[in-house]
C-alpha cells in the first residue's frame, strides 16, 4: 500500500518532502502544509505556533489530502516547548486528525532509547538561533540522555548549499570519542545522504531529523517498507504506536 505522508511545518526550507521520498525510493507520497509565511526561528514565536488551535487549519488541510500519517516537522518547536509538551501536542493533533502523528524530537528520543544511548552529540546547522543549543540539550537531558551541542558554523548558512560531504567532514572531525550517538537536528538541514558514511567513519549510531521521522511514521502505520542505505536505525523497528 502506498502511504500519503502529511508534513506539518512552520518552516520554509524544504526538508521532509525531499528526504522522505528519497529514503523511501519514491514509494511514499508527501503533501506539505506550512504554517507561517514568515518562518519563525525564536523560541517564543515557535511556542506560539506549537498549539492545537494554531495548527488545526493545517491539520484539516492534510486530512482533506487523505494523509495516512502526519509528520510534525520542526525540531526547534520541540526544543522550544519541551519533550513532555510535544508528546501531549502530538496526541492532541492525533485526535484532531484521526491518523497517527509523529515528530522529529520525540522520534529521536525513542530511537536513542531503543539503542540504549546515554550520551548524544546534537549537530545544529548554522542558521539555528543561539538559544537552541541550551534548549536542545535540555530536551534530551529531561529524558535522561546527556547531550552536548555543536553548531556547524563552518557550513553554508543557506540550507540549499549544504552538501553531504561537508556534513561528513564536519561531524567526523568534531564528534567526541565519548559520544555514543549523533543526532543531526533540523528538518531543513538535509543530511540524510551523509548518514551511511558518518556511521562508517565514526562507528556510532547516526540519526537525522527526517530519517527519524520516517522511522517513526513507518512504525505508526505498521508499514513493512524496507529502507536501505540510511543508517543502522532501520535495522531496529519501533513497536507500532
Cα–Cα distance between 90 and 101 in angstroms, integer?
6
What b-and-e string marks burial along 113-123, b requiring 16 or more CB atoms within 10 Å of the CB? eeeebeebbbb
The Cα–Cα gap between 129 and 140 comes to 18
**Residue appearing with cell numbers 553531504:** 164
Cβ(51)–Cβ(241) below 8 Å = no
The C-alpha angle 134, 135, 137, rounded to 5 degrees, equals: 65
| Residue 36, pLDDT score | 62
Rounded Cα gap, residues 67 and 33, in angstroms: 11
Percent over 70 (pLDDT), the chain: 95
pLDDT band at 41 (very low <50, low <70, confident <90, very high): low
- Residues of the chain within CATH 3.40.50.1860 domain(s) are 3-105+210-234
Helix 16-23 crosses helix 209-221 at what angle (to 10 degrees)?
Answer: 60
- What confidence tier does 45 reach under pLDDT thresholds 50, 70, 90? confident
Q: Which CATH number among 3.40.50.10140, 3.40.50.1860, 3.40.190.10, 3.30.420.40 corresponds to the domain 3-105+210-234?
A: 3.40.50.1860
| Structural class in CATH, domain 107-208 | alpha beta
pLDDT band at 231 (very low <50, low <70, confident <90, very high): very high
The tens digit of pLDDT for each residue in 103-143 reads 999 999 999 999 999 999 999 999 998 999 999 999 999 99
3-state secondary structure of 97: helix
| pLDDT at residue 178, rounded to an integer | 84
35 near 9, Cβ under 8 Å? yes
Torsion over CA of 24, 5, 108 and 189, rounded to 10 degrees?
Answer: 70
Average pLDDT for 25-37: 84
**pLDDT for residue 12 is more than 90:** no
pLDDT tens digit sequence for 131-178: 999 999 999 999 999 999 999 999 999 999 999 999 999 999 998 878
- What integer pLDDT is reported at residue 88 of this predicted model? 97
Q: Are 135 and 80 in contact (CB under 8 A)?
A: yes
Contact yes or no for 170/114 (Cβ under 8 A): no
* Residue range 40-56: mean pLDDT, rounded: 86
CATH 3.40.50.12500, the chain: domain bounds: 107-208
Q: Would you say how long the chain is, in residues?
A: 241
pLDDT at 213: 97
Q: In what order do the strands lie in the sheet with 28-34?
A: 28-34, 3-9, 69-72, 101-103
Amino acid at each position: 500500500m502506498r502511504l500519503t505522508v502529511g508534513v506539518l511545518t512552520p518552516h520554509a526550507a524544504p526538508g521532509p518532502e525531499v528526504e522522505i521520498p528519497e529514503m523511501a525510493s519514491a514509494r511514499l507520497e508527501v503533501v506539505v502544509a506550512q504554517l507561517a509565511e514568515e518562518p519563525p526561528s525564536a523560541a517564543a514565536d515557535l511556542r506560539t505556533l506549537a498549539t492545537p488551535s494554531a495548527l488545526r487549519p493545517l491539520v484539516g488541510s492534510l486530512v482533506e489530502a487523505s494523509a495516512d500519517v502526519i509528520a510534525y516537522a520542526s525540531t526547534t518547536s520541540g526544543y522550544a516547548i519541551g519533550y513532555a509538551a510535544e508528546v501531549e501536542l502530538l496526541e492532541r493533533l492525533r485526535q484532531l486528525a484521526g491518523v497517527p502523528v509523529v515528530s522529529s524530537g520525540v522520534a529521536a528520543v525513542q530511537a536513542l532509547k531503543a539503542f540504549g544511548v546515554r550520551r548524544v552529540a546534537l549537530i545544529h546547522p548554522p542558521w539555528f538561533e543561539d538559544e537552541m543549543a541550551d534548549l536542545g540539550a535540555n530536551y534530551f537531558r529531561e529524558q535522561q540522555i546527556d547531550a552536548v551541542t555543536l553548531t556547524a558554523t563552518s557550513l553554508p548558512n543557506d540550507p540549499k548549499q549544504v552538501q553531504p560531504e561537508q556534513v561528513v567532514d564536519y561531524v567526523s572531525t568534531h564528534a567526541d570519542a565519548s559520544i555514543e550517538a549523533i543526532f543531526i537536528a533540523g528538518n531543513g538541514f538535509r543530511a540524510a545522504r551523509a548518514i551511511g558514511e558518518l556511521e562508517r567513519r565514526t562507528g556510532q549510531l547516526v540519526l537525522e531529523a527526517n530519517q527519524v521521522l520516517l522511522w517513526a511514521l513507518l512504525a505508526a502505520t505498521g508499514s513493512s517498507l524496507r529502507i536501505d542505505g540510511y543508517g543502522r536505525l532501520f535495522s531496529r523497528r519501533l513497536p507500532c504506536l
